[in-house]
Structure 1
Amino acid sequence: MSKTSLLKWIQEGNVTIPGVLLTHYKEMNLDENELVLLLQVISFIENGNEFPTPFELSSRMTISVSECTGILRKLVQKGFIEIKESYSGDDVRYERYDVEPLWGKLIDCFLLRGKQEAVIANQKNETDLYTCFEQEFGRPLSPFECETLAMWMDDDHHDPHIIKAALRESVISGKLNFRYIDRILFEWKKNGIKTIEQAKSYGKKFRQSQTPQRNKQNEDANPTLKSVPFYNWLEQ
C-alpha cells in the first residue's frame, strides 16, 4: 500500500458513536437498515457534508436510492432526525440534517431502562425480604405483619438490607418479634443509620459501651464466671 493510499485512509476520519446506541437500537424501534443509515448520516456530517443526498447515502449501502429516500422519510417521521434550515456566512440559506433528536431518544431509552432495572431489583429485594422474614419466623406472615413491612419500606423509607439487618439483630438477641425490630429500626433512623457499614460502626460503639457493664454485673453475681464478648453478627 502506498503512502498516498494510507494518507487517504487516515483522512477518511473516524465516526464516534455511543456504544449504547448499538445495544439499545432495537428497544428504540430501529431496524438494521435504519441504524446503518443513521450512522452514514452522522459520518457525512462529521466529514462536513450536513445534508447528504439519498444517492450519496445509498452508494455506501446495499439499498437503492428509493429505499434510502423512504427510510430517511421514516426516520424524520419517527423523530430520529430533523431537517433544519441554516445560513452560511454569506446569508445563503441551506438545509441540513440534525441528529440531536436521536441522542435525546437514546438518553430517554437509557434512563428508562435504568429505572426498569431498578424497579426489578427493588421488587426482588422486597420479595427476598418477605421470604427472609417467613424463614426466620417459621411461618407465613400475617396481613398485619406484611403491612408493617410495607410501611417500613414505603413510609419510613428503610432499605430492605437494613430491615434484614434489624431482623438478624432481633434473632441474635433472642427477641424475634416485630415490635423489637421496629424499635431497632427506630433507633437506627434516629441515629442516622442508613447503611450496613453505619450499622456496623454504631453496633460496635454501642456494644463497647455495654459490655463492660454487663461483665461487671455478671462477675458480681458469679465471681468464677469468665468474661465472654457479645456476639456481633454484623462482623460475619
Structure 2
Amino acid sequence: MISKLLQDQVSIPRELMTKYHSYGLNEPQVMILVQIYFFQIDDIYFPTPEEIAEKMTISTEQCSQYLRQLIQQGFLKIDEMTNNNVLTEMYSLEPLWKQLYDKKEKDVDSTDEAVKIGEMFRRFEQEFGRPLSPFEIERINHWIDEENHSIDLIYDALREAVLMSKLNFTYIDRILLEWKKKGIQSSVQAKQNSRNFHHNQRESVTTKQKTNRKALYYNWLDES
C-alpha cells in the first residue's frame, strides 16, 4: 500500500505552489501547468484543451484562453518532437522551469519589455479581429527570440500588411525576412524602405498609364 502511494507521488516545485502570484500567474493557470505536467508523465505531450478542461472545473473555451495567456507570458511554449518517426507538437514546460529557477532579479527594462510584448499581442488581435492561436503566438515569439526583430519593426511589418490588405502571418513573415536580407533593423529604415517601395509602385503605374495613352493616340503618319 505504501509502495503504491509512493508511486503516485509527483514532485511539484514549492516555488510554483507558494509564489505563483509573484510571477503573475493565477490559480487556473497554475493548475493547467500541473495538469500538463501530469499528462507528460503519462506520455501525453500535447493534450487538447478539452482533455485538460475535463480534469478541472473550467470550460474548454476558458482552458484555450488560459493556454494562450501562458504562452504569451512565457511560461509555456509549443515544440516539435519525433514520435515513431512522426513529427508532432508538444507542450514544453522548459520556460516555466527557467523562470522558477532563474534567481537573477528582473530589472525594470525586462519588465517594460514584457509589458510591450503583451501590448503587441493585443494589437495583433485587434487588427485580426480575433484571438491569436497558440501557433501564431509562437510565431511572434520566434520573431522576437530567434530572429531578434524589435517590437517596433514587427509593428511596422504589421502596418505594412494592413496597408497592402494582406493581413496574414505568412505575408508579415515575408516582410520581416525581406527587411532582414536588406539589413533593415530599425523602424526608421523600415519606414523609408516602405516609402521607397510605394513611390516606385506609383511611378510604375504612372509610366504604364503614359504608355497606354501613347498607344491609344499613336500617330500612324509618323511611321516610316
Q: Report the TM range for the smaller structure's normalisation.
A: 0.3 to 0.5
TM-score (norm 1): 0.43
Name which one, 1 or 2, has greater alpha-carbon Rg: 1
